[in-house]
């Protein structure tokens, strides 16, 4: 009986090392995936901050001549050219550490400006599981208000 037990112990040698290496690879891939997801979330929030600022700057890009009076209240009328210029200027100044920030589109209706901003995102560690990077697009809208 002791001979059979010794043989079973010898046959199991090395299998723990293989199991440990497998769990180590799984844990490492999980850490890399969580780090990439966190990096993507932070980059998207930073891009939303740039888009919000660009939309606000675009919504405030009206001249005094563009304010219309309809009886008792005054309302600004936004022009697409001024909205485009203000959004592009703000995005260029506020890009900070974001890579390849571009204003994809800026449009205005009568009282609000909508701005779409994009940026390139790359994961902190490139692996077989994750792509080399992707393009993030966010859209923000701000309303022009004229207080009289």
Write the DSSP string, 26-57.
HHHHHHHHHHHHHHHHHHHHHHHHHHHHHHHH
Residue 148 has pLDDT above 60, yes or no: no
Model confidence, pTM: 0.75
> 53-93 pLDDT, tens per residue?
999 888 888 776 667 777 777 777 777 788 888 888 888 88
Cα(123)–Cα(110) distance, rounded to whole angstroms?
Answer: 40
Buried b (16+ CB within 10 A) or exposed e, 77-92: ebeeebbbebbbebbe
For residue 123, pLDDT beyond 70? yes
Q: What is the pLDDT of residue 130?
A: 73
What pLDDT is attached to residue 14? 58
| pLDDT score at 99 | 81
- Please state, rounded to an integer, the average pLDDT across all residues of the chain: 82
């Amino acid at each position: 009986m002791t001979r059979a037990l010794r043989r079973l112990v010898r046959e199991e040698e090395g299998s723990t090392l293989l199991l440990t290496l497998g769990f180590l690879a799984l844990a490492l891939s999980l850490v890399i995936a969580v780090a990439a997801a966190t990096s993507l979330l932070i980059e998207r929030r930073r891009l939303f901050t740039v888009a919000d600022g660009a939309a606000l700057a675009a919504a405030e890009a009206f001249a005094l001549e563009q304010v219309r009076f309809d009886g008792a209240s005054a309302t600004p009328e936004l022009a697409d050219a001024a909205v485009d210029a203000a959004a592009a200027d703000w995005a260029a100044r506020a890009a900070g550490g974001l890579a390849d920030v571009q204003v994809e589109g800026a449009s205005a209706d009568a009282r609000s400006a909508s701005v779409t901003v994009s940026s390139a995102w790359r994961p902190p560690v490139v692996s077989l599981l994750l792509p080399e990077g992707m393009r993030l697009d966010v859209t923000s809208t701000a309303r022009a208000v004229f207080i009289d």
